[in-house]
């Protein structure tokens, strides 16, 4: 109806029945994961927010591209076999800093803005529960991390496969590497995602979350390095290196793992489970009913 004051107009707004397609509760979880992952990679944000994740992804893939490029250009002329120039068990160790920084950059963006802007109450006022919200955010953290933990290994494997003289024979001989590659990518992605989200749940400031995340992982590594100088014969000290714990664990999944990696697979797996379990418990505690502030 018109108010009679210039061009001002008040429209009659009514609620209407929703007539679209009704999806299940997991549709909400997947929607949270989708838009959260895109935002953590810089979608709908400034160019700097996009440039850093993209640069880190390119750095993660760079070793595989370089090795494959050298093999394509010079292997036949020199007679050098570069198939084992970059073992799968060592790849993630080479780009370990890239994985660590990527997680530090992307995971705080998934929780800190919601806590700072007070939008959690809006989420929880809908059909999305706290655990479903966390499931969506966990997926949103893990999927982007796979771009630096899994994709580079797949690029390397597929590149070697393409350059082989008999690709099908190579695939038949090395098909069992693919489950190990996928497992290694997931082991690292889940570890850094859960810890990053746990730290981000403790603050509303992204800068504090990034600093706390790096401090939590790097400080025990430094202490472990100092203790290894005092106790050079103790391999258990290496289990304190939280910043590279999942990388060492994932490296042990491959049959070509270096003998330089101390401790057995079960030891790495046990410490991995404890660290991830504690981080998950902190995350669940922070988002229990009435504690989302």
Extents of the domains making up the chain? 45-286
Which tens digit of pLDDT belongs to each residue from 7-31?
Answer: 666 656 666 676 667 677 777 788 8
pLDDT at 163: 79
Buried b (16+ CB within 10 A) or exposed e, 161-178: eebeeeeeebeeeeeebe
Q: How far apart are CA 253 and CA 251, in angstroms?
A: 5
Q: Based on the number of CB atoms within 10 Å of its own CB, is 111 exposed (0-12), middle (13-18) or buried (19 or more)?
A: buried
Whether 216 and 195 have beta carbons less than 8 Å apart is answered as yes
Q: What is the pLDDT of residue 11?
A: 59
Can you give the pLDDT at residue 19? 67
Distance of CA 181 to the CA centre of its chain: 15
SS3 content of the chain, % helix, strand, coil (to 5): 70, 0, 30
pLDDT, residue 75, reads 61
**Residue 276 has what pLDDT?**
94
pLDDT of residue 115: 82
Q: What integer pLDDT is reported at residue 59 of this predicted model?
A: 96
Query: What integer pLDDT is reported at residue 229 of this predicted model?
Result: 65
pLDDT at 53: 92
**What parts of the chain have a pLDDT lower than 50?**
1-2
Q: What's the predicted TM-score (pTM) here?
A: 0.84
Q: Quote the CA–CA distance of 274 and 174 in Å, as a whole number.
A: 32
Query: Using an 8 Å Cβ cutoff, are 147 and 57 in contact?
Result: yes
Q: What is the pLDDT of residue 234?
A: 60
How far is residue 240 from each of residues 50, 166, 214, 236, 268, measured CA to CA in Å? 33, 44, 15, 8, 10
Alpha helices for 164-239 (secondary structure H): 167-174, 177-200, 206-230
């Amino acid at each position: 109806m018109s108010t009679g004051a210039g061009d001002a107009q008040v429209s009659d707004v009514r609620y209407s029945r929703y007539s679209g397609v009704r999806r299940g509760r997991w549709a909400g979880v997947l929607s949270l994961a989708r838009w959260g992952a895109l935002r953590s990679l810089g979608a709908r944000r400034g160019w700097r927010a996009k440039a850093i994740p993209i640069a880190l992804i390119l750095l993660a893939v760079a070793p595989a591209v370089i090795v494959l490029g050298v093999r394509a250009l010079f292997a036949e002329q020199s007679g050098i076999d570069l198939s084992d120039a970059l073992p799968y068990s060592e790849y993630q160790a080479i780009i370990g800093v890239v994985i660590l920084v990527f997680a530090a950059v992307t995971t705080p963006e998934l929780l800190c803005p919601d806590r700072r802007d007070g939008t959690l109450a809006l989420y929880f006022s809908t059909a999305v529960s706290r655990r479903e919200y966390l499931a969506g955010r966990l997926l949103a953290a893990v999927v982007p991390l796979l771009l630096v933990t899994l994709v580079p290994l797949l690029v390397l494997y597929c590149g070697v496969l393409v350059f082989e003289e008999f690709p099908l024979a190579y695939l038949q001989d090395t098909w069992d590497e693919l489950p190990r590659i996928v497992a290694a990518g997931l082991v690292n992605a889940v570890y850094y995602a859960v810890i990053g989200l746990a730290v981000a749940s403790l603050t509303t400031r992204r800068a504090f979350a990034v600093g706390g995340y790096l401090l939590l992982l790097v400080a025990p590594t430094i202490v472990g390095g100092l203790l290894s100088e005092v106790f050079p014969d103790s391999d258990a000290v290496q289990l304190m290196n939280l910043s590279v714990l999942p990388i060492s664990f994932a490296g042990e999944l491959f049959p070509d793992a270096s003998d330089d990696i101390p401790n057995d697979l079960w030891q790495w797996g046990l410490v991995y489970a404890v660290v991830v379990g504690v981080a998950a418990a902190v995350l669940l505690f922070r988002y229990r009913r009435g504690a989302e502030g």
